[in-house]
C-alpha cells in the first residue's frame, strides 16, 4: 500500500469466464470480462465506473469483493490482498466491503420481514452486542429513511425506491468502509433516483464510506464521483479525477461516450459522436488496441500494439497510442471531435432498457 488514505488498490486484475461446449462441457474459449484493470480508491471517496453494457463493470465490482474468483492480478483492501486471505480472515473482512445491486427486489428475500433482512448479517457478524441489536437496526433504518414499523413488513409491500433503501440499510448495518453500488438507481423511476443518490451521499459523509459507483448514466456519475474510470471491453482505457476527465477527456472512446451527455443550455450544441459498429465480443476481442475497430484515429500500429497506461499528469491515465511519444499521428484528437461519427445516441439506445421506469 502506498499510503494510509488508499482503501482499495486493484492491480492488473483479470477475470476470464470459460466458454464451455458440448456434452462434456469442454472449455473452448474464454470471455475476457476483465483483462488487466488497475485503479485505487481513497477512503471516503467515490470512483465512478462507466462504459457500455457488457464491458466488464459488474465483473470488476464483484471480483474486487471476492464474490468471483480471479484469473490474475491483486486486490488490496485496507492493505491486505483479499485473495490471499484464509476463510476465517475473509469472513472477518466481509462486513467491511458491501454491494448494492440494480434490482432491489431480486436481491431481497421475499419471505423475510425487513427487520430480519437488515439484521440477519448484523447478528451473524456480531456487529453489536445482543442487547443493542434492536436499537441498532432501528437507527440504521432511520438513517436510510425507513421507519421502525417497517421492520415487520415484507419486501413486496414496498415501492422500488424504498426497497433500494432496504438494500442500502442492509449494507450499511454491517458498518462497511466500502460499498460497490452497481447501477443502484437505474431501475428506479427518475423522480426517485435523486432521493437515493442524496441518501448515498449523506451516508457517505456520515460514515466516511468509499464507493465504486457503476452507472451508465454519465450525468449521475459526473454528479457523485471524485474520480472516474472508463472501461472498454475489459480494460480501463482512461482514469482521472472527475473535473479533469469531464473537461479534458483524452481517449477517443471517452470523448465519444461523453459527447452523449445532454447539455442543460438549449442554445449550446455538442457534437455527438456516434461510434460505428457494435461492441465486439470479449470472447474474441480485436488485436492491439481493442477499440481500433471503432476508432477514427486508428493507426496501423493500433491493430497490433496493445497501448499501455500513460500518466498524462495529476494521475490522469490514458491507454492510447495517440499519447505515446512515438504515436506517429498527425491528427489532433483534442480539436476535431466533429470528425468522429456520432456515438452518443447509440450508447443511449443500448442503455435505454435499463432506464425504463419501474414505478417506485
Binding site for ligand SF4 (CB under 6 A): 251-252, 289, 291-292, 295, 297-299, 302, 307, 320-322
Cβ 264 to ligand ADP, closest distance in Å? 27
Cβ 279 to Mg ion, closest distance in Å? 13
Among 46, 58, 71, 259, binds Mg ion (CB under 5 A): 58
Cβ 13 to ligand ADP, closest distance in Å? 12
Cβ 330 to ligand SF4, closest distance in Å? 12
Cβ 58 to Mg ion, closest distance in Å? 3
Cβ 354 to ligand ADP, closest distance in Å? 9
For 308: left if phi > 0, alpha if psi spans -120 to 50, otherwise beta; the answer is beta
Tell whether residue 56 is a contact of ligand ADP (CB under 6 A): yes
Among 115, 184, 282, 288, binds ligand ADP (CB under 6 A): 282
Tell whether residue 63 is a contact of ligand ADP (CB under 6 A): no
Task: Select 216 or 292, whichever has its Cβ closest to Mg ion.
Answer: 216
Instruction: Return the residues of window 218-277 that contact ligand ADP according to CB under 6 A.
Output: none
- CB nearest Mg ion: which residue? 58
What b-and-e string marks burial along 24-48, b requiring 16 or more CB atoms within 10 Å of the CB?
A: eeeeeebbbbbbbbbbbbbebbbbb
Partner whose binding site includes residue 184, from ligand ADP, ligand SF4, Mg ion, none (CB under 5 to 8 Å by kind): none
Task: Select 41 or 320, whichever has its Cβ closest to ligand SF4.
Answer: 320
Among 6, 17, 345, 354, binds ligand ADP (CB under 6 A): 17
Starting at the edge strand found earlier in the chain, the sheet holding 46-50 runs: 97-100, 178-182, 210-214, 46-50, 227-232, 235-241, 317-318, 310-311
Give the C-alpha separation, 222 to 208, whole Å.
20
Q: Which of 88, 47, 55 is nearest to 239 (CA)?
A: 47
Tell whether residue 40 is a contact of Mg ion (CB under 5 A): no
State the angle between helix axes of 133-143 and 114-124 in degrees (0 to 180), rounded to the nearest 10: 120
State the angle between helix axes of 160-172 and 133-143 in degrees (0 to 180), rounded to the nearest 10: 130
Partner whose binding site includes residue 212, from ligand ADP, Mg ion, ligand SF4, none (CB under 5 to 8 Å by kind): none
Q: What is the number of other CB atoms lying within 10 angstroms of the CB of residue 243? A: 12
Partner whose binding site includes residue 307, from Mg ion, ligand ADP, ligand SF4, none (CB under 5 to 8 Å by kind): ligand SF4
Size of the site for Mg ion (CB under 5 A): 1
Size of the site for ligand ADP (CB under 6 A): 12
Part in contact with ligand ADP (CB under 6 A); list of ranges 51-59, 144-152, 257-265, 305-313? 51-59
Task: Select 40 or 71, whichever has its Cβ closest to ligand ADP.
Answer: 71
Give the C-alpha separation, 360 to 358, whole Å.
6
Cβ 349 to ligand ADP, closest distance in Å? 15
Part in contact with ligand ADP (CB under 6 A); list of ranges 56-64, 114-122, 236-244, 340-348? 56-64
Partner whose binding site includes residue 322, from ligand SF4, ligand ADP, Mg ion, none (CB under 5 to 8 Å by kind): ligand SF4
Q: Point out which residues bind ligand ADP (CB under 6 A).
A: 17, 31, 33, 51, 53-59, 282
Q: Point out which residues bind Mg ion (CB under 5 A).
A: 58
Amino acid at each position: 500500500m502506498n499510503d494510509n488514505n488508499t482503501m482499495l488498490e486493484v492491480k492488473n486484475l483479470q477475470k476470464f469466464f470459460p466458454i464451455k461446449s458440448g456434452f462434456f462441457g469442454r472449455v473452448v474459449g474464454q470471455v475476457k470480462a476483465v483483462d488487466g484493470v488497475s485503479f485505487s480508491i481513497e477512503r471516503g471517496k467515490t470512483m465512478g465506473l462507466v462504459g457500455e453494457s457488457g464491458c466488464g463493470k459488474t465483473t470488476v465490482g464483484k471480483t474486487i469483493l471476492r464474490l468471483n474468483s480471479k484469473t490474475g492480478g491483486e486486490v488490496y483492501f485496507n492493505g491486505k490482498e483479499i485473495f490471499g486471505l484464509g476463510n476465517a480472515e475473509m469472513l472477518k473482512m466481509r462486513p467491511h466491503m458491501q454491494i448494492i445491486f440494480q434490482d432491489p427486489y431480486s436481491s431481497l428475500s421475499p419471505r423475510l420481514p425487513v427487520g430480519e433482512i437488515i439484521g440477519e448479517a448484523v447478528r451473524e457478524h456480531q456487529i453489536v452486542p445482543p442487547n443493542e441489536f434492536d436499537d441498532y437496526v432501528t437507527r440504521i433504518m432511520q438513517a436510510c429513511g425507513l421507519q421502525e414499523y417497517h421492520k415487520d413488513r415484507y419486501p413486496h409491500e414496498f415501492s422500488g425506491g424504498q426497497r433500494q433503501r432496504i438494500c442500502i440499510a442492509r449494507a450499511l448495518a454491517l458498518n462497511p468502509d466500502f460499498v460497490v453500488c452497481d447501477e443502484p438507481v437505474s431501475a428506479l423511476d427518475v423522480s426517485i433516483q435523486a432521493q437515493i443518490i442524496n441518501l448515498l451521499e449523506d451516508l457517505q459523509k456520515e460514515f466516511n464510506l468509499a464507493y465504486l459507483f457503476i452507472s451508465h448514466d454519465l450525468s449521475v456519475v459526473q454528479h457523485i464521483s471524485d474520480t472516474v474510470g472508463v472501461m472498454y471491453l475489459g480494460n480501463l482505457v482512461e482514469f482521472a479525477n472527475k473535473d479533469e476527465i469531464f473537461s479534458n477527456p483524452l481517449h477517443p472512446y471517452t470523448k465519444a461516450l461523453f459527447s452523449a451527455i445532454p447539455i442543460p443550455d438549449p442554445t449550446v450544441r455538442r457534437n455527438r459522436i456516434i461510434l460505428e459498429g457494435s461492441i465486439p465480443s470479449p470472447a474474441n476481442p480485436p488485436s492491439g488496441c481493442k477499440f481500433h475497430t471503432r476508432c477514427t484515429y486508428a493507426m496501423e500500429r493500433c491493430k497490433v500494439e496493445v497501448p499501455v497506461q500513460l500518466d498524462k499528469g495529476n494521475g490522469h491515465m490514458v491507454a492510447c497510442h495517440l499519447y505515446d511519444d512515438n504515436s506517429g499521428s498527425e491528427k489532433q484528437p483534442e480539436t476535431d471531435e466533429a470528425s468522429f461519427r456520432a456515438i452518443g445516441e447509440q450508447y443511449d439506445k443500448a442503455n435505454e432498457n435499463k432506464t425504463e421506469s419501474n414505478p417506485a
